[in-house]
Amino acid sequence: MGEQSYAQVLGDPKVQISNNPDEVDPVRRVAHRIIAAAKKSKYAERAKSFNWEVNVIKDDGTKNAWALPGGKIAFYTGIFPEAKNENGLAAIMGHEVVHALARHGAERMSQNLAAQVGLQTASILLGGGGVSGQLAMQALGLGTQVGVLLPFSRSHESEADYIGLLLAAEAGYDPRESVRLWQRMAQASQGAPPEFLSTHPANETRIKDLQEWMPEAMAIYERSAKASVSELPTITPPPPPVKKPAEQ
């Protein structure tokens, strides 16, 4: 999503931008400190060049947040129950800010383009036609997706988890909340696809990695200027849609 798409999202009449201070203020407080930490990180020059903007989208049924290269950040109120407090917000914020600073989206686009060119070349070499050629191309396509693109995306997620954890600690937020955050996420995402067919690490893998990185994060947190942390407002997700009975 680029600058234009971001503007289109916020300009969509169906999208409600929250002006409730109880919802907006915590997100902007956390963003202010995470951005300040990013400006002292290995991404300092890029962080200083971004035109940061933070919005909260009033959508209690959507558990999402994102940040774009250039500094546009959006949080949906539906993620508040999992974040629970400003420490949890910081874990999410750090993760999303790293995606933007590391330009992971652009790297994924390049990887996808390279994969498409490779498959087109393979199609020519295989003759491109016939049932056997089609089956081979389907197998190659699945192999590329599972063997290259998905792990490539998972490596981005792990990098964002790791550096985001350190950013949150540098910003004065307790990094231990990240583990509790993902435990809550795991409870809310029952039935997720297996890790090898997902662009994201399994919740169990994510929690294990965070615990392994915790000593480094805690050392940073112990010497940081601690943030004031408040609980987030209570959000009641909308009830799931009622399924219509199947026609006889």
Question: pLDDT tens digits, residue range 84-114?
Answer: 999 999 999 999 999 889 875 444 443 444 4
| Spans in the chain with pLDDT lower than 70 | 1-11, 104-155, 190-201, 240-248
Structure-token pair, residue 103: 């330009």
d(CA 107, CA 109): 5
What pLDDT score was predicted for residue 123?
43
Identify whether 247 is part of a domain. no
Identify whether 234 is part of a domain. no
> Angle of helix 104-125 relative to helix 150-170, nearest 10 degrees?
170
Residue appearing with tokens 């169990």: 204
E strand or H helix at 56, and its extent? Answer: strand 53-57
What pLDDT score was predicted for residue 188?
81
What pLDDT score was predicted for residue 102?
87
Query: Given 3-state DSSP classes, what are the helix, strand and coil percentages for the chain, each rounded to the nearest 5?
Result: 60, 5, 30
Structure-token pair, residue 171: 């910003």
Split into its structural domains, the chain has a count of: 1
What pLDDT score was predicted for residue 135?
44
Identify whether 245 is part of a domain. no
Active site residues: 96
User: Considering only CA atoms, which of 90, 96, 207 is closest in space to residue 157?
Assistant: 96
Identify whether 241 is part of a domain. no
Cα 86 off chain centre by: 17
What pLDDT score was predicted for residue 108?
44
DSSP readout, 4-32? HHHHHHHH-TT--B---HHHHHHHHHHHH
Residue 245 DSSP code:
P
> Could you list the residue range(s) of the whole structural domain that residue 42 is in?
3-222
Identify whether 240 is part of a domain. no
Identify whether 236 is part of a domain. no
Identify whether 13 is part of a domain. yes
Identify whether 36 is part of a domain. yes
